[in-house]
Copies of this chain bind each other. A is one copy, B any other.
C-alpha cells in the first residue's frame, strides 16, 4: 500500500509503463502527483483503476467505454441506469457478433466436411464457394461497416 512509482504500479497491475502513461494521456487515469524530480507517484486507487480497466477490457469494453464506466463509478449523481444502458448495448453487440460468427462457422464446417483431402484444389468446395457468382453489386450509397465478422 502507500505510494508507488510507475514501474511498481505497472508490475502490480501487469501492464507496461508505457501503457500507464498512455492511459493518462487518454483520460483513463488522472494525472498523478509528482516527486520534486518529476516522477509520477501513485496510490492504491490507481491500482484499483487499472484493475477495473483490465476487467472491463476482458468483458469486451473498449477503453473509451471503460473511461465512461470509471466516470460513472466516481460520480455521485449517476444512477445505475446509465451503467445498464452501456451494458445492454454491449450485450446486443455481443449477440450480433455471436450470430454472425456462428453462421460463419456453420458454413465453414459444411464446406470443410465435403472437402476431399487429396484431389486438386480446384475441386475443393471451399474454393468453389468463394469463386461462386455474387449478385452484382448495386450501390445503395451506404458507407461504413465493411464485411467480415467484426
Q: A98-B98, A137-B12 are in contact. Are A80 and B117 (CB under 8 A)?
A: yes
Q: Does A31 contact B (CB under 8 A)?
A: no
Copies in the complex: 2
> Which of B84, B115, B117 is the one whose CB lies under 8 Å from A124?
B84
Q: Which residues, 22 to 71 on A, are CB-close (under 8 Å) to B?
A: 48, 51-52, 54-60, 69
Q: Does A123 contact B (CB under 8 A)?
A: yes
Interface string of A106-150 (1 = CB under 8 A from B): 011101100111111111101101111110110100000011110
> Which of B83, B131, B148 is the one whose CB lies under 8 Å from A73?
B131
A137 with B13: CB separation less than 8 A: yes
Number of interface residues of A (CB under 8 A): 68
Given A51-B131, A57-B146, 19 other A-B contacts at CB below 8 A?
A14-B139, A51-B133, A52-B131, A59-B130, A60-B148, A60-B149, A69-B126, A69-B127, A72-B127, A80-B120, A83-B124, A84-B124, A84-B126, A87-B112, A88-B112, A91-B108, A94-B101, A94-B102, A97-B149
